[in-house]
Structure 1
Amino acid sequence: MMIRYHTLGAALLAGLIPLAAAAQTVEFGPRTPLGAGTVRSFAETDAAGLATRIGVEMTETAVTSLRHDMVFVTVPLPEAALRAGYDHVSLDWMPHGHAPGDLFGVPHFDVHFYMTTEAERLAIDPADPRYMEKAANRPSIDFMPPNFMPPPEVDPVPAMGEHWLDVTDPVLAGQPFEAVLIYGAWDGEVTFVEPMVTRDLLLSRREFGGELGQPKRVARAVSLPAAWSVSFKAETGVHVVSIDELTARVPGDEARPPRAH
């Protein structure tokens, strides 16, 4: 079940975010224009230089200045995120939402943390004669976190792939969409992790997030999140969307059991 973090303090007290996280080293990617502001990526690393959290920071002016046109921005990642198995972030502004409209038909941001290259992502093209065949080649559920399932029918999105959703997420039970976590796949592989966040949630400056289980196994070396979060840093005036508590995984390992509370 997804857990909402009402305050960072509450999350710390609950043991959901390590107390040592505040002391970790942070690497930043370059600033990229977004609306009238900017966006940049970051990676928090531990003493060994391993990424424990990867995210993006959007300035307030970026979030408030975007209007009625869709915007697609590729955000470079710092070296620590590359070592963790990610290649780039594709940040999409959806001013009118997207399908299914009854779930996600409100203005929001799609923040894709891709494990594949941008060229591989852009090659997901309906002009490819094998487009639907590749979409239908879904990975085993062993490669996805518990409760994540694909669409009932094969439903690829160009330059993205298929989107798998946690079937226990409250948004599927009728709760209004504020933010959800999605996994993506293409041609038999897991290819991205994607928080989707409404602009209203960002403008409210409320903290929001959830826990994530680990897949039973992985097909490539990658650090996968055990949590994700949305927050606002008042001291620098930026909105933060991140995948947190990264766990380094390699092919052949076994998922750790869920954390006890």
Structure 2
Amino acid sequence: MKRTHAWAWRPLFLASAAALALLGAGNAFAEGGTAVYEGKPVKIGQGAAHTVVRTGADGAVTAIGVAFSENMLDGLPIAAPGASPHFPYALSMPTKGPKTVIDHVMIDWESMGHPPPQVYDVPHFDFHFYVVSRDEVSKVRFNGPADSADPAQQPPAELMPAGYILPPGTAVPRMGVHAINPGSPEFQKQAFAATFIYGYYEKRLTFVEPMASLEFLKSKPSFSAPVPRPARYSKNGLYPSRYRIAYDEAKKVYEVMLEELR
């Protein structure tokens, strides 16, 4: 959830050939009467990740997400002393198949976590699904993390899901300001496993973001949870009502998917 995360609130290793073959390279194929479109794989750790778009028999998009090989969780980079512990990896959407509201995905490996302390300060991944272009993301700038409290950054209520807040100290350059759900388990003194965040810039939605801890992923979960939705979105398109984080034992592949799109 950050570049140089400074939330002020609350006390490239090579992938194996097998992994790259498994994760495709812009492929499209049929799967049980549906179509699956895959983006180009990107090397992360000792594995690789790629974007996925699934459609139903009627051609409508049913899911948007990221798939990655089991060994992506091995050999992850560790920051040198004094260097940033944040490692971003850019994933393009599939070149074939229907276009979606998602422009591109960034997988951000937070090797030492990030603030707030005792919440997200454990090694984890931020899966940023951007609804704006890379060029627009590059223009996201702030004077400092406290800019998230600036009225110019606070989106109108209808763009925020019920129960979400945009606390001070969550403005991150080349990302946006981060809205969180204080009712999530990690804010109720439970260990952080997975959560869902919304991001904005200048009052407009810039990304939706599932997050998952490394420990949770290594438990090989089969997890699904509803996604709180705002009354409306800045950009027209299909958005998730549920997200899923799951491990496929047969394929040795993880998926982080946005589902029940509407």
Q: Normalising by the residue count of structure 1, what TM-score does the alignment of the two structures yield? A: 0.79
State the partner residue of 2:123: 107
Task: For 2:250 and 2:125, locate their aligned partners in 1 and report how far apart those are by CA, in whole Å.
Answer: 23
1:168 equivalent in alignment to 2:183: yes
Deviation of 1:126 after TM superposition, in Å, equals: 3.7
Task: For 1:85 and 1:52, locate their aligned partners in 2 and report how far apart those are by CA, in whole Å.
Answer: 13
Deviation of 1:194 after TM superposition, in Å, equals: 0.3
Are the aligned partners of 1:60 and 1:239 in contact in 2 as well (CA < 8 Å)? yes
State the partner residue of 2:255: 240
Give, as a single letter, the amino acid of the residue that structure 2 aligns with 1:99.
P
1:139 equivalent in alignment to 2:172: no
Identity over aligned residues, as a percent?
A: 29
Q: CA separation of 1:95/1:193 partners in 2, compared to 1, >3 Å: closer, same or farther?
A: same
Q: CA separation of 1:120/1:82 partners in 2, compared to 1, >3 Å: closer, same or farther?
A: farther
Are the aligned partners of 1:135 and 1:161 in contact in 2 as well (CA < 8 Å)? no
Stretches of structure 1 lacking an aligned partner (at least 5 in a row): 1-20, 248-261
Task: For 2:151 and 2:115, locate their aligned partners in 1 and report how far apart those are by CA, in whole Å.
Answer: 17
Match of 2:93 among 64, 77, 87: 77
1:29 equivalent in alignment to 2:39: yes
State the partner residue of 1:54: 64
Q: Secondary structure at the match of 1:103?
A: coil
Structure with greater helix share of residues: 1
Q: CA separation of 1:201/1:132 partners in 2, compared to 1, >3 Å: closer, same or farther?
A: closer
1:214 equivalent in alignment to 2:256: no
Are the aligned partners of 1:43 and 1:80 in contact in 2 as well (CA < 8 Å)? no
Q: CA separation of 1:81/1:209 partners in 2, compared to 1, >3 Å: closer, same or farther?
A: farther
1:229 equivalent in alignment to 2:229: no
State the partner residue of 2:5: none
Q: Secondary structure at the match of 1:223?
A: coil
Q: Secondary structure at the match of 1:105?
A: coil
RMSD of aligned residue pairs (Cα, Å)? 2.3
State the partner residue of 1:63: 73
State the partner residue of 2:49: 39
Are the aligned partners of 1:229 and 1:243 in contact in 2 as well (CA < 8 Å)? yes
Are the aligned partners of 2:159 and 2:231 in contact in 1 as well (CA < 8 Å)? yes
Stretches of structure 2 lacking an aligned partner (at least 5 in a row): 1-30, 80-85
Task: For 2:237 and 2:154, locate their aligned partners in 1 and report how far apart those are by CA, in whole Å.
Answer: 19
Give, as a single letter, the amino acid of the residue that structure 2 aligns with 1:222.
G
State the partner residue of 2:21: none
Are the aligned partners of 2:148 and 2:177 in contact in 1 as well (CA < 8 Å)? no
State the partner residue of 2:19: none
State the partner residue of 2:204: 189
State the partner residue of 1:178: 193
State the partner residue of 2:164: 148
- Number of residue pairs matched? 224
Give, as a single letter, the amino acid of the residue that structure 2 aligns with 1:150.
L
Give, as a single letter, the amino acid of the residue that structure 1 aligns with 2:135.
A
Q: Could you give the per-residue CA deviations for residues 113-144 of structure 1, whole angstroms, max 9, x where no partner exists?
A: 0001111112113479xx77978422112112
Q: Which runs of 4+ in 1 moved over 6 A?
A: 131-135
Q: Normalising by the residue count of structure 2, what TM-score does the alignment of the two structures yield? A: 0.78
